[in-house]
Amino acid sequence: MRRSLAAIASLIWATTSYASDASAWKEKADAILREVSADAPGASVAVVEKGQLIYSTSRGLASVELNVPLTAASRYRVGSLTKTVTAAAILKLQADGRLNVDDPLAKWLPNFPGSSEITIRELLNHTSGVSDAWDAPLADVLSTEQRLALIGKTHADFLPGTDWRYSNSGYMLLGAVLEKVTGLSWSDAERKLVLDPLGIDGLGYHDDSAVVRGLVPGYTSGQDGRPAKPALYSISGPGAAGALDGDAASVATLLHRLGTSQGPWPAIFKSMTTRTRVEKQEVPYGMGTMPGKLHGISIVEHAGGIEGYSAYYVYAKGQDLAVVVLENSDSPKVTSRSLARRIAGVALGVPYRTFEPAAWPVQKINALAGSYVIEGDSRHIIAIHDGAPWIRRDGGPEKRLVPATGNVLFYAGDGTDFIEPVQDGDGVMRSLKFHSDGEASFRVEAREKSD
C-alpha cells in the first residue's frame, strides 16, 4: 500500500524579525503562489496569526474536467497531517489519566506480535521498528482488525528504541489504541478528544461513500505530464496515519489552538514538539510534528501526501503564526513544502533567496555531468538530458536543475535548495557547494575522480 511520507526539515539563514502585518508581505506571497498553474490542479493557502486568519487564497482548478476553480474554502485529503491530530489525541488520553505513553503496546493490543516490547511513545516518535513493508490492494476497505493483521505479519525494521524510521503503520496502531481505550472509532475518538474541544469543525474523517461539501477531487501526473486520475483507493486504508480531510484555514487554526490553549494543552504541545533522541542522537521528529528552524526561527512542520493530494504546514509558536498549503495533486509542479516554507518566510519577515533563471553556455552545463560524493556511500548524480541538467541522489528520482544568475542552480518547482558548482581554471567541474534548504552555509560535494 502506498503511504504518505514525511519530509525532514533543516536550518537556514538566521534572523529574528518577523512581520505581524499581512499587508507587508501579501504581494510576495501572491507572487510565490503564481508559480502554481491557474489551469491545472492547484493549491489553497491559509495563514493564521494569533488566532486571526490574515491570508487566505487559492490558485488552480478544483475540477480540471469542469474547469471549476479552487477557493480558499476548498477541502482536501490531508494525508499525514492526520498524525498531528492522532498524536494529540493519544497525549490527551494521557493527560486524562487513561493511558501512559510509556505503557507497552501489549496493554492495549496484546495479540499484536512483539507488543510487549513496544511502547506507545515509540509508536508516536517512530522508534518502534514497526514496518511499512506490507501490502494490500489500494481499493480494499480495511477494518482495524484487518489492518492490524497485515501489519503484524511483517518483520520489524529494527528492535524497538534502537533506531528511527518514519512509520505509517505505527500510527495505524495508535488508531487501534484509541479505539481500545475509548470504545469509539479512531476518528470519533479524535473528534471527541481534540477537534471538538479545540473548536475545529472543518477537519475530520469521511468514508468512501460520504458526499462531502467542498471536497475537491485529487489528481496525479500522467506519463505525458498532464493531469490524470490517481489509482482508485479506499480512504479506510491509511486510518489514523493519514485519512483526515479538511480546509487550509481549519488546519492552521488547529495549530494555533494546540500551541496556545490552556488546560492540558501546553504540556501536550510541548511533548509533541520536543525532538526525539535515540541513545545519544537527536532526530528531527517529536510526536506528530517535526521540530526545526526556518531562518533561525523555531518552527514545527509536517508533510502530508496521499494519492491525489499533497499538504504541508509550518507553525512558529513564538510568533503564533501558522501557514498551511493544501494541493489537489500528488505530483504538483510546485511542492506544498516549497510553497509553505517560502510563504512562511515572507510572513515571518525572513524570506528565502530568490533566483533569476539564466542561459548558461553549453560547455558549462555539460561539465556538470558526473558523480559527487555527499558522505560515505551517498552520491549526487548529475546527467544532461536535451541540454538541461538533472540531479538525483543515489537511486532516487531525477529532478531538473535550473541554471540561474550568480553561478547558481536551483531545483525546478522548488526554490529552497540551491547549488553552486565549482570549476577550475580549465573549466573542469571540481565540486558542488550544496546549500540545503537555502542555508547560507553549505557542504562541499567533491566530484569523483573516476568521472
Comparing 23-37, 49-63, 114-128, the range with the smallest average pLDDT is 23-37
Q: In terms of C-beta density within 10 A (0-12 exposed, 13-18 middle, 19 or more buried), how is residue 133 classed?
A: exposed
In this prediction, residues 19-33 reach a mean pLDDT of 79
- Encode pLDDT of 64-91 as tens digits: 999 999 999 999 999 999 999 999 999 9
CATH architecture of 362-447: Beta Barrel (2.40)
pLDDT at 22: 54
Q: What is the pLDDT of residue 437?
A: 85
On the question of pLDDT at 415 being above 80, the answer is yes
Spatial separation of the C-alpha atoms in residues 238 and 310, rounded to whole Å: 15
Q: Helix 265-272 vs helix 248-260: angle between axes, to the nearest 10 degrees? A: 110
Which residue blocks in 156-276 are alpha helix, DSSP H?
168-182, 186-190, 248-260, 265-272
pLDDT in tens, 238-283: 999 999 999 999 999 999 999 999 999 999 999 999 999 999 899 9
Query: What is the pTM (predicted TM-score) of this model?
Result: 0.91
What pLDDT, on the 0 to 100 scale, is given for residue 18?
40
Round the average pLDDT of the chain to a whole number and report it: 92
CA distance 87 to 221: 32
> Is residue 186 within 8 Å of residue 239, measured between CB atoms?
yes
pLDDT number for residue 221: 94
What's the pLDDT band for 4 if we cut at 50, 70, 90? very low
Range with the poorest average pLDDT among 237-251, 286-300, 414-428: 414-428
Which pLDDT belongs to residue 13? 29
Taking the C-alpha atoms of residue 403 and residue 412, their distance in angstroms, rounded to an integer, is 10
Q: Residue 450: what pLDDT?
A: 61
Q: What are the pLDDT digits (tens) for 176-201?
A: 999 999 999 999 999 999 999 999 99
Q: Report the alpha-carbon distance of residue 405 to residue 416 in Å, rounded.
A: 16
Domain boundaries along the sequence of the chain: 1-352, 362-447
- Per-residue pLDDT of 323-372, as tens digits, reads 999 999 999 999 999 999 999 999 999 999 999 999 999 999 999 999 99
Alpha-carbon span 230 to 221, nearest angstrom: 8
Least confident range from 134-138, 302-306, 339-343: namely 134-138
CB contact set of 101 (below 8 Å; sequence gap of 6+)? 90, 91, 94, 119, 120, 121, 124, 271
Q: Average pLDDT, stretch 140-160?
A: 95
Please spell the DSSP secondary structure of 92-133, one letter per residue: HHHHTTS--TTSBGGGT-TTSTTGGG-BHHHHHTT-S-----
User: 134 is written with which cell numbers?
Assistant: 506490507
In words, the CATH class of domain 1-352 is alpha beta
- H or E stretch at 4: none
- Burial (Cβ within 10 Å: 0-12, 13-18, ≥19) of residue 53: middle
- The band of 21, judged by pLDDT with boundaries at 50, 70 and 90, is low
Confidence at residue 426, expressed as pLDDT on a 0 to 100 scale: 81
What's the average model confidence in pLDDT over 290-300?
95
